[in-house]
Amino acid sequence: MHKTYFILLAVVTVLVLVFALPSAALLASLFTLGLGVVILLPLPYIGLGMWAVLPAVLLWRTPFRLTALAAGVGAVVVALAAPGPFADQALARDLAARGDIPATRLDLPEQPGIEIRRRVSRDPDLYSRGEGRAGPLIGESPCTEACERLLMGGGVGWVRIVLTDDAYGNDRAETHALFVPGGDAACRAANPDLAGGPCVLYAPDHDRPADLTLILDEDRTHWRADHFTPYQPMGFRSAAAHLGAGADSPAVWQATQLFNERPNGRFGYDFGSLANGDAGGGFMLGRARTATPPIDLAGALQTMGLPLAAARVPRAKAPGTEDNIFVEPPPDAFDAARIASLIATGPEGGPMFSNAFRQEVNGWHMGLRWTPDPTEAERAIFCATLESPAIRDLFWQDGLIAKHGIECP
């Protein structure tokens, strides 16, 4: 029995180590059309199991064989399970070091001005299974959900959005735009389809200093530890409020969400990837994407004393597209009013709209493709976007004209 065990231990150990060589596991899976994975996935576990019973085999003729077996198996279980709690502790220390500040009631003037500094768009890799990929912190439109709810809530006079990583073509630039809550007359003037206000409209920037500055940020952590380091951060989202204009004014609230790849108790080969030329090799801990609780931006704003309107409910998707995840709900009358005010206001700081604001128009055009029958007001606003000399590269105009038979003067 002992001889058979040691022969099997040697054979399994050699196989485990051979397939850990660079490219070995990847080539084995490719040349077997994936069938080799069926063997390679359990092979490291078989090797660990063989070594786990070694103490019991050596002490087989003694009263301690069961204790040795328990010790060997227990050591393997602990080695696989321990990295997860270690990663959790490191994540907790990382989060504590960020110095988050709870929100409190602020003494703000009546109808304060708010400045929101943020990136143009969210990072699609920052998600967790429980939360999903999207969220209201950083959205696609320059005036995000928080911006719109502040303006529609009736408690603020204006919101300035500062986009820190915008661009004109390939030239990076910081851009900005001012949004105001429109009354009945202003909303109807922007889009006659609206019965009245409030609505969110672009307006010329008056350059007044903000009473409260919100700084929203998120980024990937472009760092990768070795395969056996328990804590591997993926990225972060952060939100902070400063009482006054700019980031140099006193911080009154800060919140952070961290993303990491937590060891999940699995163990196996690093197969590498043909897509990025990674030959793989060696072993790695299995991991699962996790994140700390999401940032409650809406709750923090309300705690500071800023009323928020209810989030706008999207329109129903066009018939036949309900199950198509690549088709967004068509835009509504509030979206059309915002686009009309953007064209009427014109770009800030130059003759052309930057990429972010051009994309807002492109996004509205794309959504209008899925509107069953655009209204006369929507058609007029569409034609106004084509006539604007401040916008180039509108990608959907020909398809819209052909689909809906729009005739522009």
**Three-state SS letters, the chain:** CHHHHHHHHHHHHHHHHHCCCCCHHHHHHHHCCCCHHHHHCCHHHHHHHHHHCHHHHHCCCCCCHHHHHHHHHHHHHHHHHCHHHHHHHHHHHHHHHCCCECCCCCCCCCCCEEEEEECCCCCCCCCECCCECCCCCCCCCCCCHHHHHHHHCCCCCEEEEEEEEEEECCEEEEEEEEEEEECHHHHHHHCCCCCCCCEEEEECCCCCCCCEEEEEEEEECCCCCCCCCCCEEEEEEEEEEEECCCCCCCEEEEEEEEEEEEEEEEEEECCCECCCCECCCCEEEEEEEEECCCCCHHHHHHHCCCCCCCCCCCCCCCCCCCCCCCCCCCCCHHHHHHHHHHHHHCCCCCCCCCHHHHHHHHHHHHHHCCCCCCCHHHHHHHHHHHHCCCCCCCCCHHHHHHHHCCCCC
Q: What residue type is 298 in one-letter code?
A: A
Q: Which residues contact 104 (CB under 8 A, 6 or more apart)?
A: 252, 253, 303, 304
Cα–Cα distance for residue pair 119/217, rounded to 1 Å: 6
Cα–Cα distance for residue pair 141/147, rounded to 1 Å: 10
Residue 369: exposure state from Cβ atoms within 10 A (0-12, 13-18, ≥19): middle
Residue 349 within any structural domain of the chain: yes
Residue 317 within any structural domain of the chain: no
Q: What residue type is 48 in one-letter code?
A: L
pLDDT at 213: 97
Do 73 and 196 lie in one domain? The reply is: no
Cα–Cα distance for residue pair 358/355, rounded to 1 Å: 5
Residues of the chain with pLDDT under 70: 1, 34, 123-124, 127-137, 222-226, 273-279
Residue 314 within any structural domain of the chain: no
Do 103 and 67 lie in one domain? The reply is: no
Cα–Cα distance for residue pair 204/187, rounded to 1 Å: 16
Residues 99-146: tens digit of each pLDDT: 999 999 999 999 999 999 998 877 667 766 555 443 556 777 899 889
Do 11 and 138 lie in one domain? The reply is: no
Rg (CA), the chain: 29
Do 128 and 75 lie in one domain? The reply is: no
pLDDT at 396: 81
Residues 163-188: tens digit of each pLDDT: 998 988 888 889 999 999 999 999 99
Distance linking the first and last C-alpha atoms of the chain: 92
Cα–Cα distance for residue pair 150/171, rounded to 1 Å: 31
Do 138 and 283 lie in one domain? The reply is: yes
Do 62 and 147 lie in one domain? The reply is: no
Residue 58's domain spans which residues? 2-81
Do 160 and 210 lie in one domain? The reply is: yes
Do 267 and 218 lie in one domain? The reply is: yes
Cα–Cα distance for residue pair 4/9, rounded to 1 Å: 9
Residue 327 within any structural domain of the chain: no
Which own/partner pairs from 5-12 qualify as long-range (CB within 8 Å, at least 24 positions apart)? Answer: 5/50, 5/53, 5/57, 8/50, 9/50, 9/51, 9/54, 12/43, 12/46, 12/47, 12/50
pLDDT at 134: 39
Cα–Cα distance for residue pair 373/322, rounded to 1 Å: 17
Residue 355 within any structural domain of the chain: yes
Cα–Cα distance for residue pair 110/249, rounded to 1 Å: 19
Comparing C-alpha atoms, which of 140, 163, 138, 131 is closest to residue 218?
138
Do 202 and 165 lie in one domain? The reply is: yes
Cα–Cα distance for residue pair 215/240, rounded to 1 Å: 5
pLDDT at 225: 57
Do 74 and 94 lie in one domain? The reply is: no
Residue where a domain stops, chosen among 32, 63, 81:
81
pTM of this structure: 0.85
Number of domains the chain contains? 3
Q: Which residues contact 302 (CB under 8 A, 6 or more apart)?
A: 308
Residue 216 within any structural domain of the chain: yes
Do 353 and 390 lie in one domain? The reply is: yes
pLDDT at 144: 85
Residue 196 within any structural domain of the chain: yes
